[in-house]
Chain A
Amino acid sequence: MTKRTLKVSLLALLMALPAQLAFAGVEASFRYPLASFSGPVQSMWAKLAVDPERNEIYTLRPRKHDIRIYDEHGMEIFVFAEGLGGAADITIGNDGDIFVLTNGYQASTIHLLNYRGEPVAQIPLQNVPDAFSRIVADRILHRGDSLYLVDSAAMKVIVVDEAGRFEQGYDLAREIKPFVPSDQAQRELSIRDWRREQLENIELNGFTVDAQGNLFFTVPVLFSVFKLSADGELERFGKPGGAKGKFGVVAGIITDDMGYIYVSDRLRSVVLVFDRNLNFQTEFGYRGNEPSNLIVPDELAIDNNGNVYVGQAANRGVSVFKVVHQDARIPQVSETALIKELEKSGRAIEEVEVDRAEFVVDRGSDVTSTDSGDSGRNTEVVESPNKEENHNE
């Protein structure tokens, strides 16, 4: 039975919350593209980041080498472009600090910019162990007070503090080895070693970390999304196919405060939504020329208002969708919202161990609890092979 720690007085607060926080099902509707006063801003697979404090959305256009900032209504409010050659990704810190990752040949660098986009400092990595010393990060993500640096090709992640000091490392390629089709791999490796390189070239297309410290990443050649929980449990979900809820080429991934998981699919040109139990809920987009359609979606972001931002190809810019969750029977609310409500009320926050099966409530036919077995999820779970050694320095 999986345990998690939640800083909430859960049930009492659930009952006290307003009706607007009660949900049933998931619905998504197109709102608008990110725009300036000249109209929609074109971009090709823009990198996205949200400033949670100000609810602003940042885009990095790798081809144009500029960063654009939009307000919560999707209107451009600031642009800067100096010194962004080689910028590969962007993330926003707690104080509005802008972290830009540039990657070069066999090296990557973190740049700290101020709110005007002016360079403040380069952040050197410190105390990185040998096993992670050759990481060439192409993704960066700020969570808590830490920065996650991801080498997509090597499938390695290191976590550093905002001064660049090593905190933790993950070898995701090693983690997912049990999920590489072992019969096929062993048979083919023993007979035809030409497969070896191909098997070694499994890589990730998308990466995120939720508020609980769980890592989510997409692996397109395995048609799968993986969740590596903070306690080392690895879950995989997804099946290949063209039907609803199935995966073509999985790419970007995000989670929201309620635990819903959003996965973009380049091939199917959709964004798929799964609940926290990894059950498919809905999908939206589809290839086409209507504003609500998507062309090869990739990067995803979500703001505090439940707006989902989708970067895509064909110079179609970033589309914004509103996602609404509803639950007919018992409300599900975000842990962040619960904590905020508690803090507002001035009530003491007590540490309680909450069983996931108690926390995730029955929402009808498709969900029972996290420990209910398969429940049609197509989910596999393994203990991390590196559980003891992979985490923490």
Chain B
Amino acid sequence: MSNIKWVMVPGIAALAAILTLGLAGTATALHSGGVAHCDACHSMHNSPDNPVAPGATPNNLLLKGSDASSTCLNCHKGSAGSYHILTTTGGSFSPGGDFFWLSANYTNVVRNNPVASDPDQFAHNVIASDYGLTVDANNAAAPGGTYPSSILSCASCHDPHGQVNGGTANGMDPISVSGSYGAIPAAGTIAGNYRLLGDSEYGLADAPIAVTKSYGETDGSTITKAADPNDPNSVDEYAVAHPAYGKGMSEWCASCHSDYINNSQKHPAGNGEFLNGQAANYNSYVATGDFTGSQANAYSALVPFELQTTDKVALLAAVSSTAGPDSSDNVMCLTCHRAHASAFNNITRWNTEDELMAEGFPTAANLVTIGAVANADYYGRDIATTYGEYQRSLCNKCHTKD
């Protein structure tokens, strides 16, 4: 967080310039890979649109929210779909996940005992007081690390100013394109970081390399949409899209969870942790009891992997791929976990705690209770339909122990 304060200084100066010159028209992409409009997030002098009420404590970052995450959610909370990562229905099927699950309170009866859910287990507990998101009640610090839960915010992972390696003040070229969509920057410029993640000037590791084409996540060719809404036969090539992870995601997570990589006592994850023989398992695995798959159609967005490349052109080609991994691809933290939130304890992508996925929590009734859209826990998939009634944990996608 301390880095955030340092980058505020040039940010405020830039804000003053922009306020003087006015905003350059409208735009559809606020961040555009780099710093956004300063006055989208900051109010310079407790100005008329953001006066401090008598007796209230001024926001020392001049933010237009009560805290950093609340400021982000001014735009990023909303209806399902698109760039919203907090909804009231769990319907945002973004790769990172919907912080909706932080409000998923329900109770089930297990062996005659009531068992209540613990929503703090379902997400990174970013603190956003305007939106009712509070500090993690279970962990005082990041599991496997020391980062205090009391300061966890969106800006703990995302650099809202979009700087790469300290930005131009640190001698870097200016950002000309987003780092999320595979765009190749013009000569003398650079791309921003994937999803505005902070990098070596921000945490302990360089920003990971990954590419996506959309805000959503599909398995591959299972979903198409019309490119032209008036022509249902036209196909949008980017509708078949999931993030293509290249390299460094686990190392980056380890900025806070350092004990979870390069540790022989933990599940391997990270660069160099190749799938080896597990790749063949992944490709043959269709469901519990069905090992008839082939690599060409083996990809599951519920169990993604890293391609061990930094070539964005290659990654761009992979965002619509339905192919499973090679033995030289690697397992990463996001193979099993989501970055923001999920319906399951420890933010896993599937229920790892019940024998049969279709019978695990949350149940369909639980989803109704908490106001989630049907099958929101598996991004619209009905597990019994997709995998079968007796499907066991997707750990078996690599380990085939079922």
Contacts and interface: CB of A to CB of B under 8 A. Distances in A.
B39 interface: yes
Interface string A23-36: 00000000000000
Contacts of A314: 66, 129-132
A154 B65 CA distance: 28
6 nearest A-B residue pairs (beta carbon): A194-B181, A288-B53, A153-B81, A62-B88, A85-B368, A268-B49
Given A194-B181, A267-B40, A288 B23 contact: no
Query: Could you tell me the dominant secondary structure of chain A's interface residues?
Result: loop
A181 B28 contact: yes
Given A268-B64, A315-B132, A181 B27 contact: yes
Contact of B229 (A86, A174, A201, A313): A174
A283 B87 CA distance: 27
A239 to B, nearest CB: 8
Interface string B97-130: 0000001000000000000000000000000011
A288 B52 contact: yes
B240 to A, nearest CB: 12
Contacts of A153: 79-82
Contacts of A393: none
Interface in B29-68: 29-30, 37, 39-40, 43, 47-56, 64-66
Interface stretch (B303-311, B342-350, B369-377): B369-377
A201 B66 CA distance: 27
A44 B102 CA distance: 14
A103 B51 contact: no
Contacts of B40: 248, 267
Contacts, number: 177
A103 B29 CA distance: 28
Given A65-B371, A105-B380, A287 B177 contact: no
A217 to B, nearest CB: 13
Contact of A86 (B66, B103, B372): B372
A203 B75 CA distance: 12
B375 to A, nearest CB: 5
A223 B48 CA distance: 19
Contacts of A241: 22-23, 39
B363 to A, nearest CB: 12
Contact of B75 (A184, A195, A249, A293): A249
Interface in B1-32: 19, 22-23, 25-30
12 contacts: A85-B368, A130-B232, A153-B80, A181-B26, A195-B28, A201-B83, A240-B23, A267-B40, A267-B64, A268-B64, A295-B66, A315-B132
Interface string A264-286: 00111110000000000000001
A104 to B, nearest CB: 4
A287 B67 CA distance: 13
B78 interface: yes
B74 interface: yes
A349 to B, nearest CB: 41
Given A286-B49, A293-B53, A63 B26 contact: no
A344 interface: no
A243 B213 CA distance: 35
A131 B228 CA distance: 11
A131 B371 contact: no
Contact of A295 (B103, B130, B373): B130
A14 interface: no
A256 interface: no
Nearest to A88: B89
B291 interface: no
Given A103-B91, A224-B26, A268-B64, A196 B238 contact: yes
Nearest to A174: B229
B292 interface: no
B178 interface: yes
B400 interface: no
A393 to B, nearest CB: 16
B50 A286 contact: yes
B387 interface: no
A44 B91 CA distance: 18
Contacts of B28: 180-181, 185, 195, 198-199, 201-202, 221-222
A332 interface: no
B183 interface: yes
A103 to B, nearest CB: 6
A104 B373 contact: yes
Contacts of A205: 78
B64 A197 contact: no
Contacts of A20: none
B374 A104 contact: yes
Interface in A35-57: 44-45
A43 B66 CA distance: 17
Contacts of B132: 44, 63, 313-315
Contacts of A221: 27-30
A244 B183 CA distance: 37
Given A103-B373, A138-B80, A314-B130, 8 more contacts: A105-B373, A105-B374, A194-B177, A197-B181, A241-B39, A248-B74, A268-B50, A289-B56
Contacts of B74: 248-249, 266-267, 296
